[in-house]
Structure 1
Amino acid sequence: MQTERHRIDYALQRRATLEAMRRPDRVMMEADPCDADPRLISSALHHGTPAGRECPVCASDRMAVLRYVFGDQLGQYSGRIRQPAELEEMEHQFGEFTVRVVEVCPDCGWNFMIASYVLGDGRKRRAPRHKQTVEDIYG
């Protein structure tokens, strides 16, 4: 991505979580990292891109990566999953939006946000007009 900035990599936090899971005394963790919501697992199966590595918990090769986009300039499209090719197009159409990268294992439920970064050309724009969707029509 040409306009990527403010990148935060959560590799150290991910490693600490995995080490805490593997401890024999396993001190109570704030949240179970293998508690993926069924909708998140479904999204990973249908919209995710293959991670290219095994799951760190169950060694499954079906781990997927999801890229969620958030931003005021995205309007009703904020909070949706986008593919890498779509992100490249979007970075020239919008001034600024955040991408959150999540890895998900559909077999054991492992899910972790591995990175976050900002894309966009930096120009302020208004959010696109609300386009009527199926949800608007049928509720």
Structure 2
Amino acid sequence: MCDADRAVTASAEVLGTPTGRDCPVCGASAASGALRTTQWIHGSAIGEKSGTARSLSEIRHILASLSPGDDITVHVVEVCLHCRWNCLLREDRYENQTEDQLGD
């Protein structure tokens, strides 16, 4: 079990999207909205923004501002606000392109 630190928990509280599922660790109900996903961005091209949690709209804006050939990595993390369990669901790499690459 991996306990979320304060930054991860805070990002899930403010920017997180409820998953609609019960927590697999503590069983917090889907109705409580405790189990959430949040996105963290990483990349040398984004300077101080690297290693921070961002909303999907902010990530889209950052992608649009990248120079050709620059990229970012987005870590999608699942966090339970009740027991603080968290898990890296996936790691996605995006480049500056014209079409929208992020789902809602």
TM-score (norm 1): 0.58
Q: Which runs of 5+ in 1 are unaligned?
A: 1-31, 123-139
The one of 74, 79, 87 aligned to 2:46: 74
Partner of 1:134: none
- 1:36 pairs with 2:8: no
Post-superposition CA distance 1:12-44 (Å, at most 9, x none): xxxxxxxxxxxxxxxxxxxx33x2223322221
Letter in 2 for 1:121: N
Aligned length: 90
Q: Percent identity?
A: 33
The question of whether the paired residues in 2 share the 8 Å contact of 1:101 and 1:114 is answered with yes
Q: Does 1:53 align with 2:21?
A: yes
Stretches of structure 2 that go unaligned for 5 or more consecutive residues are 98-104
Structure whose CA Rg is larger: 1
Deviations 1:27-67 (A, max 9, x none): xxxxx33x222332222112212222221112223111110
Cα RMSD (Å) of the superposition? 1.7
- Return the offset for 1:73: 0.4
Moved over 6 A (4+): none
Matches of residues 120-131 of structure 1 in structure 2 within 5 Å?
120-121=95-96
Deviation at 1:85, TM superposition (A): 1.8
Correspondence for 1:13? none
Q: Whose strand proportion is higher, 1 or 2?
A: 2
- Name the SS of the counterpart of 1:118 in structure 2: strand
- Who is 1:112 aligned against? 87
Q: CA 1:89/1:103 → structure 2, altered by over 3 Å: closer, same or farther?
A: same
Q: Which residue identity does 1:55 align to in structure 2?
A: C
- How much has 1:92 moved relative to structure 2? 2.1
